Structure 1
Amino acid sequence: MSSTQETRTPWDAASVAEELLARERERREGGRLTDERPGLDLDLAYAAQDVYLARRVGAGKRLVGVKLGLTSVAKQQRMGITAPLTAWLTDAMELEPEQPVEVSSLLHPRVEPEIVFVMGERLAGPGVTTRQALAAVERVHAGLEVIDSRYRDFSFALPDVVADNASSSRFVVSPLSVAPDELDLVLEGCTLSVDGAVAATATGAAVQGHPAAALALAANALAERGLAIEAGQVVLTGGLTDAEHLRPGSVVTAEFATLGRVDLAGV
């Protein structure tokens, strides 16, 4: 630790949350918080997430669900973790189908395709299995998530991104829904296109081997904090591909084999 860090006040959950909320509000990117002061570890980062949510609810927003991040096993290994990250979704983040994104209101938005669950039952760990997680799902949708890190160049350490509510920004869910037993979630194919040109392809196996496995791990991780995934909540199970930049005038499309198509335009 540098002498500069040693003399600076360590981070606490409130100061972390307020700094990241200010960056979001002011559309101001910045450096890693882990480089600026000591004290920001994973436990504190999740505590900052909870402060973030409390501030949002206090401002009239409503909690609508949970998002998962780092659902790729390879990415988890690079970051030194064994389960996906969890973060919060509020109603202010949700876009209506066909509603465009005002790119200038964000910092450097990128879009990734998601398999989206809507929960029929409360899912609470510990010990939730993939089978149990899938049984709690009422319906499955196609979705697109807009991520928008408050860190310069999307450069962060693990506690930084957790504290930043896993780069949350916006999301859209397709109107079409499918019962979870009406498709093979592992083999469900997805093509991500930008302005009609294919950018990436993947299947549901890209998400922790099975999207419901990611859901189970998330429920178990939340249980360690005394939390659960509630009935009726939306769960973004994690990006199937790398995220593509969203620019004014561009359209990002996710075309799924069974779940249909969802589009997101930048303006």
Structure 2
Amino acid sequence: MKTLVESIAKELIDAESHQYSVAPLTERYSELSVSDAYQIQLEVIDNKIREGHEVIGKKVGLTSAAMQQMLGVDEPDYGHLLDYMKVADGEKVKISDFISPKVEAEIGFILERDLVGPNVNYLDVLMATKYVVPTIEIIDSRITDWKIKLVDTVADNGSSARVVIGNKLSTIEGFDLRSQGMLFYKNDELVGTGAGAAALGHPAQAVAWLANKLHEFGIHLKAGELILPGALSCAISVNEGDTISAHFGHLGTVSVTFE
């Protein structure tokens, strides 16, 4: 299995580097378990670190009931955020850097101290949070036509691609993140709305889930990391020329243009 893990990791790294897709892993390797898929993801990340990249945070995916039902699972998944994925608010990104990109709006958490599972709850997360920040996650699948099952997306680093980080950093005092609203625009057209409760009932609950899940792999959330707790509305496909913006009321806005 170790050889297979290394082989699939290399295949996914090459697909990302050269912007091509590969056939679903679940169609080719029926023996792969979710645990195997996480080992593939960790092998991908280890390779990236050896290349000189740094982990800047982590992301939670599949936090909505609809997405879990679509993939036939009963819990979220996670991926890693790396330094080259960071995009500044208002920046332009090249559509050619991706295969089939989609965008999601999320309330990002910047941690002031480590969170170590297995018994982290959402209050622990709130106490460990330094700031929250508006973000747009750009997701991309190295699996052909997004024909993914849980094993596929987990192995593919949770379909992570980029994260656009807003300029406004807010402390959580005075904010009810559960009811915090979000308006999602594509070329000035409203394409989605949502609230913090979309992420496992409370975005801090999603971060707590992540801290506890990572404990299974001997990993923890670190001070200074950016944690994405899950999308507040459905993922939107994008094309060249599109401008995407997410408005989070008093938490601020964030935008990105694809060229």
Q: Please give the range of the TM-score, normalised by the shorter of the 2 chains.
A: over 0.9
The aligned residue for residue 183 of structure 1 is 175
The aligned residue for residue 261 of structure 1 is 253
The aligned residue for residue 204 of structure 1 is 196
From 154, 168, 178, the counterpart of 1:162: 154
From 132, 137, 143, the counterpart of 2:129: 137
Q: What is the alpha-carbon distance in structure 1 between the residues aligned to residue 72 and residue 120 of structure 2?
A: 22
The letter for the 2-side match of 1:40 is: L
Please state how far the C-alpha of 1:39 moved relative to its aligned partner. 2.8
Q: What is the alpha-carbon distance in structure 2 between the residues aligned to residue 10 and residue 54 of structure 1?
A: 14
Larger CA deviation: 168-177 vs 68-77: 68-77
The letter for the 1-side match of 2:234 is: D
Please state how far the C-alpha of 1:11 moved relative to its aligned partner. 7.0
Q: What is the alpha-carbon distance in structure 2 between the residues aligned to residue 40 and residue 100 of structure 1?
A: 38
Q: What is the alpha-carbon distance in structure 2 between the residues aligned to residue 107 and residue 11 of structure 1?
A: 27
Please state how far the C-alpha of 1:78 moved relative to its aligned partner. 4.2
The aligned residue for residue 47 of structure 1 is 39
Extract unaligned runs of 5+ from structure 1.
Answer: 1-8
- Secondary structure of the equivalent of 1:135? helix
- Secondary structure of the equivalent of 1:239? coil
The letter for the 2-side match of 1:254 is: A
Question: Is residue 26 of structure 2 the alignment partner of residue 34 of structure 1?
Answer: yes
What is the aligned-residue identity percentage? 34
User: CA separation of 1:250/1:78 partners in 2, compared to 1, >3 Å: closer, same or farther?
Assistant: closer
From 242, 249, 259, the counterpart of 1:250: 242
Q: What is the alpha-carbon distance in structure 2 between the residues aligned to residue 81 and residue 261 of structure 1?
A: 32
From 54, 65, 74, the counterpart of 1:62: 54
Question: Is residue 161 of structure 2 the alignment partner of residue 146 of structure 1?
Answer: no
Please state how far the C-alpha of 1:227 moved relative to its aligned partner. 1.0
Q: What is the alpha-carbon distance in structure 2 between the residues aligned to residue 146 and residue 255 of structure 1?
A: 16
TM-score, structure 1 normalization: 0.93
- Secondary structure of the equivalent of 2:217? coil
Q: What is the alpha-carbon distance in structure 1 between the residues aligned to residue 74 and residue 222 of structure 2?
A: 23
Q: What is the alpha-carbon distance in structure 2 between the residues aligned to residue 100 and residue 236 of structure 1?
A: 21
Please state how far the C-alpha of 1:96 moved relative to its aligned partner. 1.6
- Secondary structure of the equivalent of 1:258? helix
- Secondary structure of the equivalent of 1:169? strand
Question: Which stretches of structure 1, 4 residues or longer, exceed 4 Å deviation after superposition?
Answer: none
Instruction: Give the total of aligned pairs.
Output: 259
Larger CA deviation: 243-252 vs 163-172: 243-252
8 Å CA contact 2:91, 2:255 repeated in 1: no
Please state how far the C-alpha of 1:28 moved relative to its aligned partner. 1.0
TM-score, structure 2 normalization: 0.96
Q: What is the alpha-carbon distance in structure 1 between the residues aligned to residue 60 and residue 198 of structure 2?
A: 13
Cα deviation 1:224-250 (Å, max 9, x = unaligned): 111110111000111111111221111
Please state how far the C-alpha of 1:81 moved relative to its aligned partner. 3.5
User: CA separation of 1:139/1:10 partners in 2, compared to 1, >3 Å: closer, same or farther?
Assistant: closer
- Secondary structure of the equivalent of 1:75? helix
The letter for the 2-side match of 1:95 is: V
Please state how far the C-alpha of 1:79 moved relative to its aligned partner. 3.3
Q: What is the alpha-carbon distance in structure 1 between the residues aligned to residue 33 and residue 191 of structure 2?
A: 35
8 Å CA contact 1:142, 1:262 repeated in 2: yes
- Secondary structure of the equivalent of 1:224? helix
8 Å CA contact 2:73, 2:150 repeated in 1: no
Highest Rg: 1 or 2? 1
